[in-house]
Structure 1
Amino acid sequence: MHIKKMNKKILALTIAASFTLLGCEQPINSQQAIIPAAEQLKILHSATQIDVDNIAENLQVKYRLNTNIPSEHCDSAIENGTCYEAELSFNASTIINAKDWFIYFSHIAPIQSFESDEFSIEHINGDLHRISLQNGFSGFKAGEIKTVSFRAQFWMLAESDAMPNYIVSAQNLKPRVIESTIPVIDPETGLETLTHIELANDLDKHFKRTVNDNTVRLTSENLFERNAAANLTSEKNKIAVTNAIIPTPKSVTVDAKNAFLNIDQGLAIHLGNVDKAQVASALSRLTALGIAENKQGLPLHLSISENKDKLLGSYSLNITDKDIKIVGVDANGVFNGIQSLASLVTLGETRLPLLNVDDEPHYTFRGMMVDVARNFHSKEFILSLLDQMAAYKLNKLHLHLGDDEGWRLEIPSLPELTEVGSKRCFDIQETSCLMPQLGAGVDPTSSVNGYYSVADYQEILAAATARHIQVIPSLDMPGHSRSSVKAMNARYKKYQALEDETKAKQFLLDDFEDTTKYSSVQFYGDNTINVCLESSYDFITEVMKQVKKMHNDAGQPLTRYHIGADETAGAWIDSPACQQFIANNDKGVTSMKELSAYFIERVAGILSDLDIETAGWSDGMEHTRKENMPAIVQANAWDALFWGGHDKVHALTNRNWQMVLSSPEVLYFDQPYEADPKEHGYYWASRATNTEKIFQFMPDNLPAHAEFWTNREGNAYIADDTKVPLAPGQKFYGIQGQLWGENTRTGAMGEHKIYPRLLALAERAWYSASWAVPYDYQGKKYSQETNNFTDEMQVSRDNAWALFANVLGQKEFEKLELANIDYRLPTVGAVIKDGKLFANVAFPGLTIEYKVGKGDWLTYVEPVVVKGPVMVRSRSINGLRASRTTSALSK
């Protein structure tokens, strides 16, 4: 009897092994039905494709933050020993008895150490990590949970720190994404969510960065108090909304009787000396808003009258009971005047207020930067953005097309840049794609991958030109260049295989004998162009010639290019090419630390030879020698103000460079709107960059913000402007909003982060607020103990914000919805007092909804009696989307 049992067992194993060798699925329960459960996991075998597929489909992954409080296990050499502790748990819904498989996953903060007898974790490159099975791995029983705890650098303060799309792989097998880590789209908000993340709510362990962190978590109760204090629903605001234009004009005179003009018959357009092509886009927007073009309608007279005393783009708008006149100093001015007319439109109404507007921009440069390199965004996304930029008089699109994680522009003579550099999938050798950084998964055709063809890019350029927007492309270099470095390595291998060494090395960006060990800010050790190779400059010249041709052919000449030039992290030290360059060069470079500046200066020279102006980030540009740079240089300053960032801004402005403010705590739209772990975004500069904060920005006086803003931990700071004040008469060239894209994987999330912040950006770029603190060229110290920002200024600012918020909620959001823009819907302020729910919202005009217990969602109109747990949210005007849901608390 015993022998028969053994024979059956051997037979079952033989059958199972045969199916495995043939690559077929095993008969269901063929082995399990015979072998006792206690014995099943003793039989570990090397993973087959069936095993990989089984793990992908049935392994439930959970990521849990344990604490941000550092322990003795943290690396004391990193950020004062800060690190956080988390754990990964794996729950197998079926038996897993395979070995020799791996899990690759993205983790923004490098993992320092771990504890597990069965798993090991190692940092591969960038954010990519690998989990391997140790010798002690015993497989999974059905329903068994295994965990590995670990410590990672810095902090984890938001759910969006975690990344999706963990990949299970084994040698020579097809990798699969573990299904429990795939993002899902919330049907109510339209936003991506990660269901494998668990972030607890302990204030000290999970919400605070350090023991000195005084950030206040935004609850529905303190949001209610904030909204109530803003006096958002006054009758005065309701009346003023009708006459309001965003961005605010320099001068508006409203008819004394608040009279209105009926335009239900539409407008009869009289172009005068205006080329219709120059204003067609603005006129089309009027039509989309319900103001039809009609020869029998009210006359709209357009004309250009040059005025050299006013900035380009200036205009006047006069609305009387007989006609409308728009006069611009140029075609752009007429275009802007039409957009102001559109701003006066309230959807569903056919009347306009009688008024006179005399308007000009505060800044020449009014920009928006979009990072499509980290995660790609479609041509349609950019075209839609151009429409809204034009609607609110922004005039510069900084398009970030190349970075470590992706190259997004077709260069016909260098096809490898897009064949390899535009895709992230799973190729260890990176000859067909880049490795799956930033949770990209394994699909090279997914929406986070892609590029603009020449035709796509030229369509973007044509659309920008029609809207008086200059496109400033950027393909970051010499750091942030991993996508181009790896693409040119792939090109090298291709031509080496064809025994064409000249072509192989023609555009090589890498010194293969370089043994330098370095880590970039994003933890890459191979992302920097070698600045000592002549082939690197040949590559740059080739790329720039092609980009210049694209612009010329599209009718928008390339007059400015953004080098990037930031965050170059200690590369080249052990590069033989650089050692030889320094020993033999006649360029005045005597040490490795001078190479970065030499690169920027030389690239700026290449651009000058092509009649292209140079732009770059301040941290790279500041090391250059002014005498070696062109006469016109744009510098984008991204230094945090609470770290004394105004000093660098002032120093570079004093070089007579064109300074474009990009201050991260207010102009980085990848930062969270509010201090809440469920708010999406990075937070290295700010945990709360809502629309009101952008509205509060006083760009002409950076240090003065110390009087009412705090640092990233909610603490007061001192801004000393006596060290490097602006030279008398110096002014900034402009400001720019930034959408960095590391964890912005969908267009909906991109729009959520851009809007409505873009409207406040436009307000600060175009209009100089009367309540702002004038800059003192003598230099001052500012803190919460000084009072340059007076109580009167604060009252004036807060009243202006209340009106602005009402205009957004009652006029502009509906226009955004008409354009299919998924702007962020604010969470609702709410509190329960004496059994009644009181609720409000930051933008009056949006609907507030509440739900008691498991009941239906109801519309909130006025305080209402409730009993039980209450949830609240806001809803879009068209009813198609809802905000994130929060709890109303009893007081």
Structure 2
Amino acid sequence: MKKLLYAALAWLLLAACGGEEKSADPTDFHIIPKPASLVPGTEVLDWDNKKIAIIAGSAEEKNVGNLLAEFLKAKKLNATVSEFSDDADKIALYTAEDPALGNEGYTLTVDEKGVSLTAASGAGLFYGMQTLLQLIPENGKTVPFVTITDQPRFAYRGLHLDVCRHMFPPEFIKKYIDLLAHHKFNRFHWHLTDDQGWRIEVKKYPKLQEIAAFRKETVIGHARDADPSNPKDFDGKRYGGYYTQEEVKEIVKYAADRYVTIIPEIEMPGHALAALSAYPALGCTGGPYQAATTWGVFDDIFCAGKEETFTFLEGVLDEVITLFPSKYIHVGGDECPKARWDACPHCKKRMKTEHLKNSHELQSYFVQRVEKYLNSKDRQIIGWDEILEGGLAPNATVMSWRGEEGGIAAAQQGHDVIMTPTGWCYFDYYQDTTSENQPLAIGGYLPVSKVYSYEPIPALLNDDEAKHILGVQANLWTEYIPTTDHVEYMMYPRACAMAEVAWAAKENRNYEDFLTRLNTHFRQLDAWDVHYAKHLQHATDSTVASKK
């Protein structure tokens, strides 16, 4: 019989706490993402000057207990973790069966007995804990009576971050993970390689750290306005860096402790200029190459006709999979010009040998060969929707970004899909047109209201096809985002809206209600020291209507 882990955060026994004779107002429950079911009570628990003992037995329970103690400390509540305690005020973690909750669901009850949080896994405990923390007011003294039953709509709930165009320190990556975990996201898509820089240490290929991790300068302003021959359009400053394998291991563990899986992306066959600058023999022309100093799409890509290309990529992936336990490895596959392949004798020979009709089928060969290698290592690939061109790799999952068409086509072919279309999920777009002081962005316009309006399951899919939509992800590309404050400004509060799209049932979402809860949630973001966009603060019903 399959052994299942069921964990529960059970009775918070508050000696002499009783229930204050104070009505719990339903409008006090400003939880993001919105729970599936919430029934308010009529009283509150008084936590003033209480000492709380968190009782934890198993390793996973202790992990959740330690995190809870940290969070309660931030709320100025005194909590310690131990296996046994005679203290009257306690939080006990124990195992209990409740299969109806699914792997990530939970039930939270606050009543005259205390606080009971039941979950089927450590992840469920963690998400219930996030809800509990949002129930505690700023003064940290009371918790309203309530019964909440909750579980996510989608299994895959992701946020992405590009660290190639601009890189951010490990401590900020941890904060980024903390914030997405607080909002019940469970996937962090880490975009680690691109034309402008290679950001992960690969010991077998040291030139990736020595050369590919750096570019000689960076374009100023929008790349489309730059003149490559005009030095004034560039900053003249060498830029770069990379994450050591020890840093990566630490970040991966940090994420796992918060029930977040990191999906690394190693771009191929396109977006390869940085790698080619270090190992020019891997390109069709042999170079010389340099890491890109502007943004966009470049003709020079990995040569699909040379065996040494696949030897290199397999060597890179061997080290990547030792660092990341994720089932998925993202291989890119997007924006891959075919001009070099069409002119390359090695690629022409490959097409002839493999009986490929054109360079699109050559890309399919490339992706399928990499997929087969990763499958042999018990891993699966995700690729951007261009991997559909020329024939989709057998076990590939498609990330649909150029609208929803690629996701629809993949689901209809029986492939799993993650929806991330630009029109709703690209957070490098401008989010406010009412202020003249918006920081530079790539273009476009994506307000919070449009993010919130997104429905990840296209109406064109039937019920069986819809099952292949694993979830949704928001992406942040950082061409024009050089600082950590700018990252947070572009992500929040839009990530709050996406969190609800990913977690809450379609029929349970209402934008006006969300905006009301968001105005309270801003105080939570303040407590987490998030540099969020503030144009929606204190929005009224009339401003809600104007934003639709």
- Give the equivalent residue in structure 2 for 1:595: 362
Q: Secondary structure at the match of 1:293?
A: strand
Partner of 1:757: 494
Question: What is residue 18 of structure 1 aligned with on the other side?
Answer: none
Identity of aligned residues (%): 24
**Aligned-partner SS, 1:531:** coil
**C-alpha distance after superposition, 1:464-501 (max 9, x if no partner):** 01001000000211111111111112xxxxxxxxxxxx
Write the letter of the residue equivalent to 2:517: F
> What TM-score do the two structures reach when normalised by structure 2?
0.83
Q: Does 1:247 find its partner at 2:33?
A: yes
- The alpha-carbon distance between structure 1 residues 394 and 304, as it changes in their structure 2 partners (threshold 3 A), is farther
**8 Å CA contact 2:442, 2:480 repeated in 1:** no
Aligned pair count reads: 494
Paired with 2:230 and 2:179, the residues of 1 have a C-alpha distance of 32
Q: Is the 8 A contact 2:101 2:119 kept in 1?
A: no
Query: Within 5 Å, which residues of 2 pair with 1:713-862?
Result: 721=460, 725-726=461-462, 728=464, 730-731=466-467, 732-770=469-507, 797-808=510-521, 813-826=522-535, 841-842=538-539
Q: Measure the CA separation in 2 of the matches of 1:366 and 1:436.
A: 43
Q: Residue 356 of structure 1 aligns to a residue in which SS?
A: strand
Per-residue Cα deviation, 1:207-246 (whole angstroms, up to 9, x for no partner)? xxxxxxxxxxxxxxxxxxxxxxxxxxxxxxx954422322
- Spell out, residue by residue over 1:231-268, the C-alpha distance to the aligned partner (whole angstroms, 9 max, x if none): xxxxxxx954422322111111111x2x1111121432
Contact between 1:561 and 1:612, CA under 8 Å: does it hold in 2? yes
> What SS does the corresponding residue of 2:184 show, helix, strand or coil?
coil
| Structure number with higher helix proportion | 2
Matched letter for residue 559 of structure 1: K
Structure 1 residues 370-410: Cα deviation after superposition (integer angstroms, max 9, x where no partner): 00011111111110011111111110000000011011001
**1:306 Cα shift?**
4.1
Residue among 373, 391, 399 paired with 1:636: 399
Give me the whole-angstrom Cα distance separating, in 2, the residues matched to 1:422 and 1:675.
Answer: 36
Higher deviation after alignment, 338-347 or 587-596: 587-596
Instruction: Say if 1:359 and 1:532 are closer, same or farther in 2 by CA, change over 3 A.
Output: same
Cα 1:769–1:304 shift into 2, 3 Å:
farther
Match of 2:447 among 690, 695, 702: 690
Q: Who is 2:307 aligned against?
A: 534
Q: Does the aligned pair in 2 maintain the 1:661–1:734 contact within 8 Å?
A: yes
Aligned partners of 1:769, 1:283: CA distance in 2, in Å? 34
Which has more radius of gyration? 1
Q: Partner letter of residue 637 of structure 1?
A: S
- Conserved 8 A contact 2:160-2:191: yes
Indicate the SS of the match to 2:279: helix
Is the Cα–Cα contact under 8 Å of residues 424 and 436 in structure 1 kept in the other structure? no
User: What does the per-residue CA deviation read over 1:395-441, in whole Å, with 9 as the maximum and x for residues that have no partner?
Assistant: 000000001101100111111112111112259xxxxxxx9999773
Paired with 2:331 and 2:248, the residues of 1 have a C-alpha distance of: 19
8 Å contact from structure 2 (residues 271, 297) kept in 1:
no
Is 1:610 the counterpart of 2:377? The answer is yes
- Confirm or deny: 8 A CA contact 2:412 2:465 kept in the other structure: no
Structure 1 unaligned segments of length 5 or more: list them: 1-237, 428-434, 490-507, 552-556, 704-720, 773-796, 829-840, 845-891
For the structure 1 residues 394 and 466, does the alpha-carbon distance in structure 2 shift closer, same or farther, using more than 3 Å as the test?
same
The 1:547–1:648 alpha-carbon spacing in structure 2 relative to 1, beyond 3 Å, is closer
Aligned pair partner of 1:699 in 451, 456, 459: 456
Pair 440,401 (structure 1): closer, same or farther in 2 beyond 3 Å: farther
Aligned to 1:395: 186
* SS of residue in 2 equivalent to 1:568: coil
Alignment of 1:141-152 (within 5 A): none
Question: Deviations for 1:513-571, whole angstroms, at most 9, x for unmatched residues?
Answer: 699xxx9x9555443111111111111100011112223xxxxx242100110111123
Q: 1:307 and 1:381, CA in 2 relative to 1: closer, same or farther beyond 3 A?
A: same
Counterpart residue identity of residue 111, structure 2: T
CA distance in structure 2 between the partners assigned to 1:800 and 1:818 by the alignment = 22
CA distance in 2, matches of 1:438, 1:540: 37
Map of 1:45-84 to 2, 5 A cutoff? none
Kept in 2, the 8 Å contact 1:421–1:487? The answer is yes
- Which residue of structure 2 lines up, in the alignment, with residue 665 of structure 1? 423
- 1:278 positional shift: 4.2
SS in 1 for 2:45: strand
- What is the alpha-carbon distance in structure 1 between the residues aligned to residue 300 and residue 55 of structure 2? 56
Residue 450 (str. 1) matches residue 246 (str. 2): no
2: distance between equivalents of 1:802 and 1:456?
38
Q: Is the 8 A contact 2:30 2:518 kept in 1?
A: no
C-alpha distance in structure 2 between counterparts of 1:656 and 1:733, whole Å = 12
Between the aligned partners of 2:230 and 2:424, the Cα distance in structure 1 is: 31
For residues 29 and 271 of structure 2, what CA distance do their matches in structure 1 show? 47
* Pair 1:418–1:322, CA change in 2 (3 A): same
2: CA distance, partners of 1:613 / 1:244: 38
Distance 1:682 1:815 in 2: 26
Q: Give yes or no for contact 1:299–1:324 (8 Å, CA) kept in 2.
A: no
> What letter corresponds to residue 276 of structure 1 in structure 2?
K
C-alpha displacement of 1:320: 1.4
CA distance in 2: counterparts of 1:682 and 1:366, whole angstroms? 25
Please tell me whether residue 680 in structure 1 is matched to residue 439 in structure 2.
yes
Alignment of 1:567 onto 2:335: yes
Aligned equivalent of 2:171 = 380
Cα distance in 2 between the residues matched to 1:843 and 1:298: 41
**Structure 2, unaligned stretches of length 5 or more?**
1-23, 219-228, 542-548
CA distance in 2, matches of 1:437, 1:767: 50
Distance 1:678 1:478 in 2: 38
The CA distance in 1 between the partners of 2:519 and 2:265, in whole Å, is: 37
Distance 1:279 1:624 in 2: 50
TM-score for the superposition, normalised by structure 1: 0.52
Conserved? CA contact 1:242–1:346, under 8 Å: no
Matches within 5 A, 1:310-389: 310-389=101-180
Go from structure 1 to structure 2 and tell me whether the alpha carbon gap of 1:514 and 1:372 turns closer, same or farther (over 3 Å shift).
closer
Contact 1:312/1:332, CA 8 A, preserved across alignment: yes
Q: Is the 8 A contact 2:47 2:140 kept in 1?
A: no
AA matched with 1:574? A
SS in structure 2 at match of 1:457: helix
Aligned to 2:316: 543
Asked if the contact 1:366–1:736 (Cα under 8 Å) also holds between the matched residues in 2, the reply is yes
Structure 1 residue 771: Cα displacement: 5.8
Question: Secondary structure of the equivalent of 1:474?
Answer: strand
CA contact (8 A) 1:302 1:327 kept: no
Provide the rounded CA distance (Å) in 1 between the counterparts of 2:361 and 2:232. Answer: 32
SS, match of residue 614 in structure 1? strand
* Distance apart, 1:336 and its partner CA: 1.3
Report the Cα distance in structure 2 between the residues aligned to 1:594 and 1:729, rounded to whole angstroms.
Answer: 25
| Separation (CA, whole Å) in 1 of partners of 2:425 and 2:297 | 26
